Structure 1
């Protein structure tokens, strides 16, 4: 029986890398989609050392065709996608009076729109029991005005997850946003590894009582 597969979109050294490691430790093979080849190489070596078979691709996920092609290649190679984890967001330090409309739309294309792209590309390779997960943030409810576009992205991507979950549930696939209600740190309750544990717990729940948002408060 082939091992389950997770595709991590926006793969990097933070939460997304910790999610990849958490699933690899549970016996998943891993596909990584990111923007930095060196980071992907380092993460690949780590995951392979944990026994995972790893594929990776460098792509700008706001380039719809490039992102679709990368995810499709992963699916065709593995024959299945069991979990799709979406991590990208843009941090632009501009308040609402200095943020241009074009900049806001550019950020939303990354933090929200790209989720549509990769889910649509992954869907043909997903079956009942499949999961879509997203790294959410308390910025959706408590935005910092100094980076106004981030709150818009996190509110938008959470809303989109709700719609995705309702749509995919018809085929036994569920979607969830894990809302991190704290600031990421190197120590304590909000390290990337602790957040990854929350993602694992949210994704592996039974369908009974499923919710499309799970808050992580560091507990």
Structure 2
């Protein structure tokens, strides 16, 4: 039997990179989707050094056709996707009076809409026991007014995860967002590696007591 596979959407050097390495250490092969080729190449090397197979694709995840094609290529190659992790969001320092509607919608297309694209593309490769995980944020509940679109994205993606979980649950597939209630740092409880541990734990909840949102408070 082939190893389990995690596809990481919005892969880079932060939480998403820690998630990729965390699952690789548990024996998952890894597919990486992101926009920065240098970062993807470096992360792919780190993951491969852990003894698993890794593939990566440079893709704008807001490009529905390109993102769908990239995920389908991964799925066709591996024959399965066991975990789909979604990480991207846009940080734009503008308050609600400065933020044009077009920019708000652009940010929501990345931080929320791209999750729809990823899940719809991955669905044929997900089977019972499959999981969709999302990096959430306390900005969903306590937005900083100077980055108004971020709070909208995080509230929206959390809401979408609940709908995805209800839709997928009859097939034994579950979705969960991990709400990080703190600021990422290089030390302490909110390092990317510690958050990745929380995402691993959320993905491996007992299904009988499944929660579609799991807070991580360090």
C-alpha RMSD of the superposition: 0.3
Aligned-partner SS, 1:167:
helix
Q: Counterpart of 1:159? A: 159
Measured after TM superposition, the shift of residue 205 of structure 1 is: 1.3
Q: Counterpart of 1:99? A: 99
Q: Is 2:135 the counterpart of 1:135?
A: yes
In structure 2, runs of 5+ residues without a counterpart are none
Q: Counterpart of 2:32? A: 32
Q: Counterpart of 1:198? A: 198
- How does the TM-score come out when normalised to structure 1? 0.99
Measured after TM superposition, the shift of residue 173 of structure 1 is: 0.0
Q: Counterpart of 1:16? A: 16
Aligned-partner SS, 1:95:
coil
Aligned-partner SS, 1:110:
helix
Between the aligned partners of 1:79 and 1:10, the Cα distance in structure 2 is 21
Aligned-partner SS, 2:207:
coil
Measured after TM superposition, the shift of residue 52 of structure 1 is: 1.2
Write the deviation string for residues 181-200 of structure 1: whole angstroms up to 9, x where unpaired.
00000000000000000000
Aligned-partner SS, 1:135:
strand
Between the aligned partners of 2:61 and 2:141, the Cα distance in structure 1 is 25
Write the deviation string for residues 101-143 of structure 1: whole angstroms up to 9, x where unpaired.
0000000000000000000000000000000000000000000
Q: Counterpart of 1:111? A: 111
Q: Counterpart of 2:53? A: 53
- How does the TM-score come out when normalised to structure 2? 1.00
Q: Counterpart of 2:122? A: 122
Q: Counterpart of 1:214? A: 214
Measured after TM superposition, the shift of residue 27 of structure 1 is: 0.2
Write the deviation string for residues 11-54 of structure 1: whole angstroms up to 9, x where unpaired.
00000000000000000000000001110110111111001100
Q: Counterpart of 1:182? A: 182
Q: State how 1:53-72 maps to structure 2 within 5 Å.
A: 53-72=53-72
Aligned-partner SS, 2:11:
coil
In structure 1, runs of 5+ residues without a counterpart are none
Write the deviation string for residues 161-213 of structure 1: whole angstroms up to 9, x where unpaired.
00000000010000000000000000000000000000000001121110100
Between the aligned partners of 1:206 and 1:2, the Cα distance in structure 2 is 24
Between the aligned partners of 1:58 and 1:83, the Cα distance in structure 2 is 19
User: May I ask how many residue pairs the two structures share in their alignment?
Assistant: 218
